[in-house]
Amino acid sequence: MIGVLMFLTALFFLLLGIPVAFAFGGVAILFALLFPWDVGLQVFELLPFRIYGIMQNFTLMAVPLFIFMGLVLEKSKMAEELLESMAKLFGPVRGGLAISTVLVGAVLAASTGIVGASVVMMGLITLPIMLKHNYDPKLASGTIVASGTLGQIIPPSVVLIVLGDVMYVSVGDLFKAAIVPGILLTMLYILYILILAWLKPSVAPAMKSEQIPYKELLVKALKAILPPLLLIVAVLGSIFAGIASPTESAAVGVLGAIVLSMLKRTFSFKTLRYATIETVKLSAMIFMILIGATAFSLVFNAFDGGDFVHQFFTEDLGGKWTFIIVTMILIFILGFFVDFIEISFIVVPILVPIAASFGIDPIWFAVLIAMNLQASFLTPPFGFALFYLKGAVGDKVTTGQIYKGVIPFILLQLTALAILMLWPKIIYLFD
C-alpha cells in the first residue's frame, strides 16, 4: 500500500503546481528516506544505468526529430494556405468551416503532430472567421481544440513513439494500426458537425459563396494539400515499406520539411533558430519527466507496488475485459489531472505485464491507450489544448465556452474508443 500512497502523493504535488519531473523524482527520494529499513537511498544505485539506457534508446531519438519537423512546418505557412483553401471549398455547406477545420487538423496531424502549434494556428486563423459568420462559439472552439489534438492518434505521433518504447512493440506496427482509428475519429467529428448543422442551422450557418468557379477552388485546395501529402507519404511510406525505421523516417521528415519551407521561401536562419531552441526545450522536458518517472518506478517497485497492482487485477478482479475496462476508466480519469507523458512513463509500464498475462494483443492495447490519452488534452480542468486555444485567442471566447464546446468531442472520442474495443480487428485493415 506504500506504493499506492506514493502515487497519490505525486498527484497531490502535481495539483500544487510542482513540475512533473520534480514531483515524481522528489516523491521517490522522499519515500526512500522515510522508509530506510525497506528501501533506502541505495535503490538509486540503478538509476545511472537506467538513464544511460534512455540516452542510448534509438527509438526515442525520433521524438526530437518529429518535433523539429513540426516546428519547421509551423513556420512554413502551410497551415494558413490549407485553411484558407479548405474554408473556401467547404464554406458554402452548413458547418463547412468547421468541417474544413477538422480536415486541416487531420492533415496537420499527419505532417506535424504538434498539438500546441496546430491548436494555436487554427485558433488564430479559423476562429475569427467562424465567429464572423455567426458560428456558435462553443462549437467553433470545440472543433478547433479537438481537431488540433488529432496528432496524438494519427501517425507519426509522439504518443505512439513513446508507447511503442514503453510497451516493447514496434513503432512501425503501431503507426499502421493507428491509421484506421485516426480516420474513424476524423469521420465521427465531421458526422457530428453535419448532423448538428442540419438540426440547428443557426449554430453553423453556410458561408456566402464567392464568385469563384468551384473547379478553381478545388485546384487551389489540391495545390495546398499536395506538399504536406508528399511529406506524409515520404515519412510514413518509408516506414510501411520497410525502407526506414521510425527514427530514420523522422530524419527524412526533417529534411522534407526544410525543403518544403525553402520552396515556399519561408525558411531562414530565424526559423532554424526557433525550431532548434523549441525542440531542445520540448525534448528536455520529455526526457526530464522520463528520468523522474524512472526514479519513481525504482522506489515504487521496491515497495512491491507493481506486485500489488498485478494481484489486484489478476486475482481480485480476475477477468480480461474487467481489466481492460477498469484500465481505460483509470487512464481517462487520470487524464483530467495528468499529462500523457506521465501516464505513459508511470502507469503504462505497470499495466504491460498484466496485459501480457491475460494474453491481450499489445498493439491493440497500445492503440486503445493512445486513443484514451488523446482525451487528456481535452478534458478540463488541465487539458493543455484548452489552455493553448484560450491563450491564443484571448477574449474572443470565454473559458466556459471552450469547456462546454469540447464535451461533445470528448464523448465522440469515447465512442471511437468503444468501437475499437468491440471490433479489435479494424486496426489491422492497413496491415
- Grid cell listed for 333: 480519469
Local confidence band at 431 (pLDDT 50, 70, 90 cut-offs)? low
Task: Among 230-234, 326-330, 368-372, name the one with the lowest average pLDDT.
Answer: 230-234
Predicted confidence (pLDDT) per residue in 389-423, tens digit: 887 777 788 888 888 889 999 999 999 999 999 99
CA distance 382 to 370: 18
Q: Is the pLDDT of residue 112 over 70?
A: no
Residue that is written with C-alpha cell 487524464 in the block: 335
Tell me the angle at which helices 96-111 and 171-199 cross, rounded to the nearest 10 degrees.
Answer: 170
CA distance 24 to 290: 10
Q: What is the largest CA-CA distance in the chain?
A: 79
Q: Nearest 5°: phi and psi at 142?
A: -65, -40
Fill in the amino acid letter for 255: L
pTM score of the predicted model? 0.82
Local confidence band at 187 (pLDDT 50, 70, 90 cut-offs)? very high
Q: Is the pLDDT of residue 198 over 70?
A: yes
For the chain, give every domain's residue range: 2-428
Phi/psi zone of residue 113: left (φ > 0), alpha (ψ -120 to 50 degrees), beta? Answer: left
- Grid cell listed for 325: 475496462
pLDDT value of position 369: 92
pLDDT value of position 74: 72
Local confidence band at 216 (pLDDT 50, 70, 90 cut-offs)? confident
pLDDT cut 90: percent of the chain above it: 10
Residue that is written with C-alpha cell 499502421 in the block: 176
